[in-house]
């Protein structure tokens, strides 16, 4: 008999939970409902569903945050995002987060069911057969030919075969977790678990239990005993991301665990011994946090044995074309479509952008392009508008040639021809009107500013029909 698929539904609207639970159960799915994302994540620590359906707007953690958490740990679980705000933005955001599908509310039950069916087929198709499963499913290629990245690779090489604690520094999205995984894969611990935990993403009151586990009944809601991340990582590596966000009391506990290699579960009385290599990462300046009294100095020294700095993407632009190609190919594979290619001017344009969100932003843009660009070849006018705005902000002035290029692209894509007939007069009109504004309407001076003779300007004004109502001041 075929395995019954497990579907988890999270929505703060009781009627939606009820409708979906009824419909799914009737169609022989095993359905579990949750009122909020937090309770779903708690269950995810013990059990993994085949599909998750989540509302976007919920109190506490919203659907997109939940999506990010789920995808971070279980990238293969398809997530269907449901939302009453069926606008493009949230659809795009959910695609960027890696959602499988988007279900606008109100939906009818058949629509929801057919989406669920598709998601199940898709996940069955993409699930690796046990034998084919790569040894380390999270192993990802790190792209980087820039000298600064070569330095990072050399550090990974030098540290291989070592169990030493490493602190990775770099802005958000630069690839800190990827480097931590590589350190693990090249270490004597490679056959043991690599467990990643982001301090910034865990509610304060759950942090200790997340790290150290808890005994049954340790606090309200602790219905079962639970192993923490330290235990899960035993023999392997524990990657503590955004360590600068760790609360003071947890810092104290962590320091003690690092010194003694043992700890107690929350509510527990038996010491638990573990052998864990710590790799920590932060985008913050830890020295400064120490100075401000927000990070324990002794813990800082324990973590800061070897430091690897990952430069921001804007400081290694030579890697951008390779990264673009890599992520366009990856996005196409994920979405099961032909990969897009960038026209040379589009690639050059993207290589010049400031990329404040670093490689993660670039990866998201590649997904966006793969979903949204209409043709196979990507033009500058196909790029998301915020990228164009970003380039204006970073250079401090409007890049009019770029705007003109975008305009030309658009006109030609629409099948227009003889576009100079439209563009040249528009160009001259803008220059003339602006020059006249600067000279308070005095044509002789304006002609000088433009580099024309007085008569040429007068003729142009006539030809362009600018003299209507214009006072001729000399």
Which residues bind to ligand ATP, rule: CB under 6 A? 140, 142-144, 170, 172-178, 241, 283, 359-360, 363
Nearer to ligand ATP, 176 or 189 (CB): 176
Nearer to ligand ATP, 72 or 268 (CB): 72
Nearer to ligand ATP, 83 or 358 (CB): 358
Cα–Cα distance, 335 to 308 (Å, whole number): 34
- Taking the complex as a whole, how short is the minimal distance between the CB of residue 178 and ligand ATP, in angstroms? 4
- Taking the complex as a whole, how short is the minimal distance between the CB of residue 159 and ligand ATP, in angstroms? 17
Q: Which residue sits closest to ligand ATP, CB atoms considered? A: 175
Nearer to ligand ATP, 10 or 279 (CB): 279
Cα–Cα distance, 274 to 263 (Å, whole number): 8
- Taking the complex as a whole, how short is the minimal distance between the CB of residue 181 and ligand ATP, in angstroms? 8
Cβ neighbours of residue 224 closer than 8 Å, sequence gap 6 or more: 46, 216
3-state SS, residue 322:
helix
Cβ atoms of 212 and 264 closer than 8 Å: yes
3-state SS, residue 1:
coil
Cα–Cα distance, 338 to 331 (Å, whole number): 9
DSSP strand pairing (272-273 vs 262-263): antiparallel
Nearer to ligand ATP, 148 or 466 (CB): 148
State the Cα torsion 24-29-32-37 to the nearest 10°: -80
- Taking the complex as a whole, how short is the minimal distance between the CB of residue 56 and ligand ATP, in angstroms? 22
- Taking the complex as a whole, how short is the minimal distance between the CB of residue 144 and ligand ATP, in angstroms? 5
Nearer to ligand ATP, 133 or 139 (CB): 139
- Taking the complex as a whole, how short is the minimal distance between the CB of residue 93 and ligand ATP, in angstroms? 16
427 half-sphere exposure, CB direction, 13 A CA radius: 12
Cβ atoms of 335 and 371 closer than 8 Å: yes
The kind and range of the H/E element at 366 are: helix 358-372
The sign of the torsion formed by the CA atoms of 3, 4, 10, 16 equals positive
Nearer to ligand ATP, 7 or 310 (CB): 310
- Taking the complex as a whole, how short is the minimal distance between the CB of residue 313 and ligand ATP, in angstroms? 8
- Taking the complex as a whole, how short is the minimal distance between the CB of residue 360 and ligand ATP, in angstroms? 4
State the Cα torsion 147-151-152-156 to the nearest 10°: 140
- Taking the complex as a whole, how short is the minimal distance between the CB of residue 15 and ligand ATP, in angstroms? 37
Nearer to ligand ATP, 102 or 327 (CB): 327
Nearer to ligand ATP, 142 or 255 (CB): 142
- Closest among 117, 102, 31 to 64, alpha carbons compared: 102
Measured CA distances, 225 to 41, 198, 209 (Å): 16, 22, 10
Cβ neighbours of residue 76 closer than 8 Å, sequence gap 6 or more: 123, 126, 127
Nearer to ligand ATP, 16 or 238 (CB): 238
- Taking the complex as a whole, how short is the minimal distance between the CB of residue 17 and ligand ATP, in angstroms? 32
Cβ atoms of 153 and 316 closer than 8 Å: no
């Amino acid at each position: 008999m075929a395995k019954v698929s497990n579907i988890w539904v999270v929505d703060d609207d009781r009627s939606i939970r009820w409708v979906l639970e009824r419909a799914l159960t009737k169609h022989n799915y095993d359905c579990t409902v949750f009122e909020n994302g937090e309770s779903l994540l708690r269950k995810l620590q013990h059990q993994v569903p085949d599909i998750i359906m989540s509302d976007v707007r919920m109190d506490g953690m919203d659907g997109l945050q939940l999506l990010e958490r789920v995808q971070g740990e279980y990238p293969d679980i398809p997530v269907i995002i449901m939302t009453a705000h069926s606008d493009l933005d949230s659809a795009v955001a959910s695609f960027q987060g890696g959602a499988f599908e988007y279900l606008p509310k109100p939906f009818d039950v058949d629509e929801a069911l057919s989406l669920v069916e598709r998601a199940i087929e898709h996940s069955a198709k993409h699930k690796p057969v046990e034998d084919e499963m790569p040894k380390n499913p999270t192993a990802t290629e790190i792209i980087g030919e820039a000298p600064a990245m070569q330095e990072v690779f050399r550090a990974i090489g030098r540290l291989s075969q070592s169990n030493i604690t490493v602190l990775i520094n770099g802005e958000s999205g630069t690839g800190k977790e990827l480097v931590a995984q590589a350190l693990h894969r090249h270490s004597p611990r490679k056959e043991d678990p690599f467990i990643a935990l982001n301090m910034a993403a865990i509610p304060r009151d759950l942090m200790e239990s997340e790290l150290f586990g808890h005994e049954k009944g340790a606090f309200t809601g602790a219905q079962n005993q639970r192993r923490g991340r330290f235990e899960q990582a035993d023999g392997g590596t524990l990657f503590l991301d955004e360590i600068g966000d760790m609360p003071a009391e947890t810092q104290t506990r962590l320091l003690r665990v690092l010194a003694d290699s043992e700890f107690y579960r929350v509510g527990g009385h038996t010491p638990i011994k573990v052998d864990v290599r710590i790799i920590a990462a932060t985008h913050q300046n830890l020295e400064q946090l120490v100075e401000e009294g927000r990070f324990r100095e002794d813990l800082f020294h324990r973590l800061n044995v070897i430091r690897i700095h990952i430069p921001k993407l804007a400081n290694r632009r030579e890697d951008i074309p390779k990264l673009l190609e890599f992520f366009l190919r990856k996005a196409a594979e994920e979405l099961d479509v032909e990969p897009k290619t960038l026209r040379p001017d589009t690639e050059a344009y993207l290589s010049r952008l400031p990329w404040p969100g670093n490689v993660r932003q670039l990866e998201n843009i590649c997904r966006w392009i793969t979903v949204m660009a209409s043709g196979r070849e990507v033009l500058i006018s196909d790029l998301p508008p915020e990228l164009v705005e970003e380039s204006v902000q970073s250079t401090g002035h409007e890049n009019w040639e770029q705007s003109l290029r975008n305009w030309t692209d658009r006109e030609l894509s629409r099948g227009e021809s003889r576009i100079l007939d439209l563009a040249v007069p528009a160009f001259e009109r803008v220059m003339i009107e602006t020059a006249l504004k600067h000279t308070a309407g005095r044509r002789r001076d304006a002609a000088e500013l433009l580099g024309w003779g007085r008569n040429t300007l007068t003729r142009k004004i006539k030809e362009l029909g600018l003299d209507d109502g214009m006072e001729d001041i000399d």
